[in-house]
Chain A
């Protein structure tokens, strides 16, 4: 019991999310037991990988009080460039993947530059690059999709590891674990939280705020690059139109997971659970046969409900303020 208490200290939000996830699964299973089949459960996780990778990346940016609307477009650039490396250049897939990650990081740094050196508001800066990056993706392929992605690459990013267990899940977990460590164990992680809490006080503590922000946008770009490369492997073609609107579900996953859009609050585990909840809901609605138009309404509702729970929760934990906390 003591160990359980220690493990769960400061994790009220995550435990609540886990309960919500199990409740949701239980309800869908009651309506249609097929939902509980191993194949379907695996599907839920599998469907959450792309959104999960995007959402983990954007969690860094949101905790600093920023936002990145351009991640869908970053995905597209990485998709068509990696596709081009593989098909036209015949590049070694491992090299292509490394280059893809680098491209994501560099594009992210560009966003960071607009936000820090040029002092654009993150929303406006990334709204602009959302459009501009999309244009870049179209220009790279002249508007055509990149076809015939080689099978060895597809196996590497989305093949089956054992049985039906897709390799994309360990990729997501690896990125999540690394991100978690950065956020909780490193200096940069502490600065991410302190910037979100009070940027001026952080600067006056002799910390290079601009550098830390650049790092968060770069990590966000890396998340988008990984998401894009999983998608490229899954579909086998590289569409320059891919990833449109994905930023919204990534933000939703982070918000459901308890990341505050005002900055200063959030966790990788919460974001992961947020992505899983969205995926479980979507899969469940398909399984029980809800019309796809209604699915949009259900997704919207769950986002609003999650945000409302956040408010209630903070109200009941001592006048909305935490007395003490542990990271």
Chain B
């Protein structure tokens, strides 16, 4: 390894009431893939924002390639060769790929944009990234993975020497992630320094050279990836021992009583002939690759989307569920994949969000009993270990894990029997993940049943009693707990046929 290209020297940054970063000191070497990890709120994003010039007021110094950097804004950082590939890709859908890549730096011919040069230049970069799309394509025609490539193309367009990736694989399929890693390795081979943030530890071990751990705004250490184990890494992140956290503590809660039965559920062009049973006290996992339509199936069961055929039975009785209201009435709740757009409501407080689906319970002749609503929130806050404990706190300002708890609290208030978790720990840090798993088990013990859609195989394997594997809208295979391992699930998820006798 060569010289340090980035040196953070005694960096501290405070927000009103919070010390986000406290005396951070470490170097990133030129040409390495350097992972940065820590729980949500550990200060990773704040540190990156300082590096990228988004925050320009902080204590300490950042040195880039031996020179002190003083970026006034993100633009300065880009000019100095430091680019960011965003967590949630922000692109202008109605412009072409080339226009997005060059936005604000278009080559000009006189007063006009020189589109020929622009597209030619961008196409060269796209070819280098082995993209199938071209500079003249509209961004709205691209998939999520392709949009991510576009962000990388943007960084290369600006001839960046340092590129940071903030949770780049969060929205990608396995294949897309693999392709991305190859690109990242190629960037490294070309001497580009990569900073990589991810919650998925497996990825860090696959790709990084060194790993820096932050905890509560403080620097914990920088380690050579080859010398680290998963267990040691988790310990240094959380400062405590969270042994194999996606692991069931209590098995055998599953009973023979069938709570929910779905028969031949179809939605033309999306999924067909889906049948399954859910027993009381079990976690039924739904696994499959992106595009296997798992989410579509559970949304149709809950009534969020229409279905074209099939029947749903609750405790043996046929029920009609065409709207979420009917789903709720028959005892089904959905904790959706995207908290911000589907889970909680940003202008409501914790108490209001938690009470939203069951206000009928807290009201008389349409008038809300405020005290009951607050009491309910306080009770659940305690049960779910929500932090902060203020029922008037705006849910919007909570961390990802705590927001998820509020959405969960909303459904616990309703007393539904079946809870559908769609990607329950997406964007949730390690500590909160463990708590959510623990809560799921407590729910089972309290007589509830859970359907869990998840893309994280360790989670599916660790938590499920049974797993339904889907592929392109079809139910391929039902696996019992003892049959679960990554290879088997992936084999069926990729459309494989029976191969074990």
- A202–B353 Cα distance when bound, in Å, is 10
A187 to B334, CA, bound (A): 21
Q: A10: nearest residue on chain B (CB-CB)?
A: B392
Q: What's the least CB distance linking B355 to chain A, in Å?
A: 8
CB of A70 within 8 A of chain B? no
Separation of A321 and B16 alpha carbons in the complex (Å): 13
B342 touches A206 (CB 8 A): no
Complex contact B359–A187 (CB within 8 A)? yes
A206 contacts B325, C-beta separation under 8 Å: yes
At the interface, yes or no: B397 with Cβ under 8 Å from chain A?
yes
A208 close to B325 (CB less than 8 A): yes
Interface pair B392/A325, CB less than 8 Å apart = yes
B336 at interface by CB-CB < 8 Å: yes
| Among listed B163-171, B272-280, B361-369, interface-contacting one | B361-369
Judging by beta carbons under 8 Å apart, are A325 and B349 in contact? yes
Against B, the Cβ 8 Å flags (1 = close, 0 = not) of A164-201 are 00000000000000000000011110100110111011
Q: Which residues of A contact B334 (CB under 8 A)?
A: 204
Pair A197/B368 contact, Cβ less than 8 Å: no
Whether A190 pairs with B357 at a CB distance below 8 angstroms is no
**What's the tally of chain A residues with a CB closer than 8 Å to chain B?**
29
The answer to whether B346 and A198 have CB atoms under 8 Å apart is: yes
A190-B368 in contact (CB<8A): yes
CB distance from A181 to the nearest CB of B (A): 8
Residues of B within 8 A of A207 (CB): 324-325, 356-357
> Could you tell me the distance in whole angstroms from the C-beta of B331 to the nearest C-beta in chain A?
11
How far is it, in angstroms, between the C-alpha of A323 and the C-alpha of B18 when the chains are bound?
14
Asked if A88 CB lies within 8 Å of chain B CBs, one says no
Those of B298-322 within 8 Å (CB) of chain A: 302, 304
Residues of A within 8 A of B352 (CB): 190, 193-194, 327
* Complex interface: chain A residues within 8 A of B341 (CB): 198, 200-201
Residues of B within 8 A of A89 (CB): none
Q: A187-B360, A187-B368 are in contact. Are A205 and B410 (CB under 8 A)?
A: yes
Q: Is A265 at the interface (CB under 8 A from chain B)? A: yes
Q: With CB as the reference atom, state the residue of chain A lying closest to B339.
A: A201
In the complex, which residues 308-326 of chain A have their Cβ closer than 8 Å to any Cβ of chain B? 318, 321-326
Query: B223 near A: Cβ within 8 Å?
Result: no
B329 within 8 A of A: yes
A264 within 8 A of B: yes
Asked if residues A321 and B347 are in contact (CB atoms below 8 Å), the reply is no
Q: In whole angstroms, how far apart are the Cα atoms of A198 and B396 in the complex?
A: 12
In-complex Cβ contact of B342 among A194, A196, A201 (8 A) = A201
**B343 contacts partner chain A, Cβ-Cβ < 8 Å:** yes
CB distance from A64 to the nearest CB of B (A): 12
Distance (Å) between the CB of B395 and the closest chain A CB?
10
Q: Take A187-B368, A324-B392 as given contacts and tell me if A206 and B363 are in contact as well, using a CB distance cutoff of 8 Å.
A: no
The answer for the CA separation of A186 and B408 in the assembled complex, in Å, is 24
Rounded to whole Å, the gap between the CB of B444 and the closest CB of chain A is 23
- CB pair B357–A325 under 8 Å, yes or no, is no
Please tell me if the beta carbons of B16 and A318 are within 8 angstroms of each other in the complex.
yes
| A186-B363, A194-B348 given; A204·B336 CB < 8 A | yes
Other-chain residue from B302, B325, B344, B397 in contact with A321 (beta carbon distance below 8 A): B397
A194 in complex: contacting residue of B16, B329, B336, B345, CB < 8 Å? B345
The CA-CA distance from A321 to B327 in the complex, in Å, is 33
- A324-B347 in contact (CB<8A): no
Complex Cα–Cα for A324 and B389 (A): 11
Roughly how many angstroms separate A323 CA and B410 CA in the complex, as a whole number?
Answer: 20
Min distance, Cβ B333 to any Cβ of chain A, angstroms: 8
Give the distance in Å from the alpha carbon of A187 to the alpha carbon of B349 in the complex: 15
**A201: which B residues are within 8 A, CB to CB?**
336, 341-345
| Cα(A186)–Cα(B362), bound, Å | 10
User: Is B347 a contact partner of A205 (Cβ separation < 8 A)?
Assistant: no
Q: Which residue of A lies closest to B303 (CB)?
A: A206
Shortest distance in angstroms between B458's beta carbon and chain A's nearest beta carbon? 28
Which chain A residue shows the least CB distance to B341?
A: A200
Residues from chain B with a CB closer than 8 A to the CB of A203 are 304, 323-324
- Give the residue name and chain of the B residue nearest to A203 (CB): B324
Q: Are A265 and B347 in contact (CB under 8 A)?
A: yes
Chain A residues positioned under 8 Å from B360 (CB to CB): 187
Asked if B5 is at the interface (CB within 8 A of a chain A CB), the reply is no
Contacts of A265 in B (CB 8 A): 347
Q: How far is the CA of A223 from the CA of B157 in the complex (A)?
A: 57
B8 CB–A CB distance under 8 Å: no
Contacts of A185 in B (CB 8 A): 367-368
Interface pair A186/B368, CB less than 8 Å apart:
yes
Q: Are A324 and B393 in contact (CB under 8 A)?
A: yes
Contact B304 A202, beta carbon cutoff 8 Å:
no
| Distance from B301 Cβ to chain A, minimum over Cβ atoms (Å) | 13
What is the bound-complex CA distance between A204 and B332, given in angstroms? Answer: 11
CB of B325 within 8 A of CB of A202, answer no
Interface residue? B485 (CB, 8 A): no
Task: Give Cα distance in the complex from A325 to B359, angstroms.
Answer: 19
Asked if B347 and A193 sit within 8 Å, CB to CB, the answer is yes
- Within the complex, the shortest CB–CB distance from A60 to chain B, in Å, comes to 15
A264 and B327 within 8 A (CB): no
Known A190-B348, A190-B359, A321-B397; 5 more pairs at CB < 8 Å: A187-B368, A198-B345, A203-B324, A204-B304, A264-B347
Q: Which residues of chain A have a CB within 8 Å of any CB of chain B?
A: 185-188, 190, 193-194, 196-198, 200-208, 264-265, 318, 321-327
A-B contact pairs, 5 of them (CB 8 A): A194-B352, A196-B347, A198-B345, A205-B328, A321-B396
The 3 closest A-B pairs by CB, nearest first: A206-B328, A197-B347, A264-B347
